[in-house]
Structure formats: C-alpha cells, structure tokens
C-alpha cells in the first residue's frame, strides 16, 4: 500500500526500534528517566531554548503551552485554518475558558496589521488578548512556511501589546529544511514551541514542548493536569533521540517527492492548489475536476490500485509524503491515477 493519507502513518525505523528496546529508563515523575532527560536536553540545545518537556503529542504540547500562557476569560489570536483552532477538540474553550479570535491568512500566513486589528482594546468590556498562536509549517494551507522575517514581525507586534507568542511547529523541521534556516532561528521569537516527533520524523509517539525554564515548569504542571505525566517513558523518548539524529536531513527527499507527486497528478488532469514548483514542503492539495471523474470514485479506484488517501472534501484531497514513500512509489501512484482516470 502506498499510504499518502498523512506523514503520521510513517513507521518507526529499525534504529528507533533497537534504541527503544535498549533504552535506559527510570520514573520520569522523579526526573529519574535518563533517556527522557537526554531527549529534553538535546532538543533544548538544538532549539536554543532554556528547557524542554517531552509530551505525548503535539496536541498535548499546544494544550499545555496555551494553558501556561493564559488565564480564563482572555482571548487568543489564531489563523482561521490553524490546527489548534480546528483540530484539537476545542480545548481553547473546553479547558482554557478562552475566546478565540481568528484571522484569515493568505496560504496560512497572517500579517502584523491583521494581528494589530484583532487585538481587543484594554477596556474592561473585552476579553484581554494575551496570546498569538502561529503555525509553521501550516498544515491546512498545504505545508506552507513562515519565514524568519514574518515570524519576527508578527512576534514584535504581539509583544508590543504585551502578548506572548506560541509557535505550533509540529512540522518546524520541514520549514527549516525548505528555507535553509535553522530551527533555532525560526523559533527564536516564540515564547514556546511545539515540535511533533510522529509526523515526518517517524516516531511512534511523542512531541516536544520548548520554552523558558519557568514556562516549562508551568507546562509540567498542566501536563500532569491533563493526564500526561509519564513513568518509564525513556522507551519512547529513545525514538525521539534517534529522530533528531537521523530523520531531519532526509526531509528534503519528502519535499522533492511531494513536488514530483504534484507534477504527476497535474499531468493526469487533477487541479493542484499551487503549481508543482511552488510546493513548499511535504503536503499538497489536489482537486478532481467534476468533468474528469466523481471524486469519491477516484479515491476508491486509487485505493484498489494500492494508493491510500483520505476521503475528498468538496472534491479536494490532501496528500502527504514521508519516509516510507519513495520516488518509485510516487511514479507508481501517478501511473495508477492515470489508469483510474482512463487517461
């Protein structure tokens, strides 16, 4: 099966599995798991942040970050298609008592002027705006990158209003690779950062949450509150260390494969959200034109040919490349698409 549903379907590598089997462990509640500590220290060093905490998922990292930066009754500015706003089961209101203020970005990118306009005045009438959430790369916009300059300008605007900045960098390594800018620089202006280990990096479970020492202490308390405390978590943290050591540089291959896939699907008659050469990272969106074929029928036909994608929404499908997909797989998927479409 050529599985293009998400990069979360990527499997742990043999090196990860060996590292997991042999990991030194202890009870992380007592801060006695040397492998968890090693992963947290390694990540903090790599990102140039004071501290890091290992959590179960990028969602959990976003939850503990937002709860650490805000108080009930306040408001948070986010891009309208952001993962936090759309795909994290409403934790902003459910756990945080927060009012989301959404802003519509261009390919996921919002501007300082939009942030400026979304900040509530300080009058007692309004929920105080205390946090700006950014997403890099932006999932629903098609893996688009936020540049260093954009991140800095947005953060400066947020700071000028006394707000904190949280960066949902679930795929920050993809952004770093695509732009040739280090993750340290790309995250320098954020008070906290989420990094997912289970997307392109291939781990079976886990994410890292980074920030100042005080922030991480607060995040550790919230992690406990949402049931995220861990014991001998070195077994899974070991995969994270291998991911940082061996899975980052190869992301360039996923980006090249995404571009190749976009080109092959365009040749087959699908409409891409952006031309193949403008695909920024490992995510593409394609629409099956109504004149070509019924979109559900195309997806079902493609599945029978061994290519798996999620059901279309408004005839549009998302495809994501990852380390278990080779250039040969992309060519095979392209040929299968043409067969299904009879072209």
Ligand X SMILES: *Cc1c(COP(=O)(O)O)cnc(C)c1O
> Which residues are near ligand X by CB under 6 A?
57-59, 83, 135, 139, 168, 170, 196, 198-199, 207
Q: How far is the CB of 297 from ligand X (least distance, A)?
A: 28
Tokens in use for 122? 């300080």
Nearer Cβ to ligand X (264/280): 280
Pick the closer one to ligand X by CB: 91 or 120: 91
- Closest to ligand X by CB, 83 vs 322, is 83
- Angle (CA) 18 175 331, round 5°: 70
Which positions ≥6 away from 54 have C-beta within 8 Å?
Answer: 28, 36, 39, 40, 206, 207, 208, 230, 233, 237, 240
Query: Looking at beta carbons only, is 110 or 293 nearer to ligand X?
Result: 110
Give the nearest distance from C-beta 168 to ligand X in angstroms: 5
Give the Å distances, CA to CA, from 217 to 50, 72, 88: 11, 19, 23
Name which of 54, 194, 222, 210 is nearest 136 in CA terms: 194
The nearest distance, CB 126 to ligand X, in angstroms, is 28
Interatomic CA distance for residues 225 and 232, integer angstroms: 19
* Closest distance to ligand X from the beta carbon of 45 (Å): 22
Tell me the C-alpha distance between 335 and 332, whole Å. Answer: 5
Q: Which is nearer to ligand X, 35 or 57 (CB)?
A: 57
**Which of 249, 269, 279, 274 has its CA nearest to residue 343?**
269
Q: How far is the CB of 229 from ligand X (least distance, A)?
A: 17
Residue nearest to ligand X (CB): 58
């Amino acid at each position: 099966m050529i599985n293009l549903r998400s990069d979360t379907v990527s499997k742990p590598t043999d090196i990860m599995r060996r590292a997991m089997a042999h990991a030194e462990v202890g009870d992380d509640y007592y801060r006695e798991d040397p492998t968890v500590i090693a992963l947290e220290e390694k990540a903090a060093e790599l990102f140039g942040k004071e501290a890091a905490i290992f959590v179960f998922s990028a969602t959990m990292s976003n939850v503990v970050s937002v709860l650490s930066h805000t108080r009930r009754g306040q408001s948070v500015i986010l891009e309208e298609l952001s993962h936090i706003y759309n795909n994290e089961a409403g934790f902003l209101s459910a756990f945080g008592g927060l009012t989301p203020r959404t802003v519509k970005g261009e390919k996921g990118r919002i501007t300082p002027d939009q942030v400026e306009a979304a900040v509530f005045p300080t009058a007692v009438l309004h929920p105080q705006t205390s946090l700006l959430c950014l997403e890099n790369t932006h999932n629903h916009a098609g893996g688009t990158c936020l540049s260093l300059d954009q991140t800095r300008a947005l953060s400066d605007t947020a700071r000028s209003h006394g707000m904190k900045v949280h960066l949902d960098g679930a795929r920050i390594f993809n952004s770093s690779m695509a732009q040739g800018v280090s993750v340290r620089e790309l995250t320098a202006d954020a008070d906290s950062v989420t990094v997912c280990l289970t997307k392109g990096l291939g781990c079976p479970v886990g994410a890292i949450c980074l920030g100042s020492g005080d922030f991480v202490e607060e995040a550790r308390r919230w992690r406990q509150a949402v049931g995220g405390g861990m014991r001998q978590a070195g077994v899974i943290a070991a995969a994270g260390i291998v991911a940082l050591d061996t899975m980052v540089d190869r992301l360039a291959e996923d980006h090249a494969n995404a571009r190749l896939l976009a080109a092959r699907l365009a040749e087959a008659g699908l409409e891409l959200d952006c031309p193949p050469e403008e695909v920024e990272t490992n995510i593409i969106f394609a629409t099956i034109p109504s004149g070509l074929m019924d979109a559900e029928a195309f997806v079902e036909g493609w599945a029978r040919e061994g290519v798996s994608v999620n059901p279309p929404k408004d005839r549009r499908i998302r495809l994501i490349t990852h380390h278990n997909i080779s250039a040969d797989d992309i060519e095979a998927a392209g040929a299968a698409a043409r067969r299904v479409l009879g072209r």
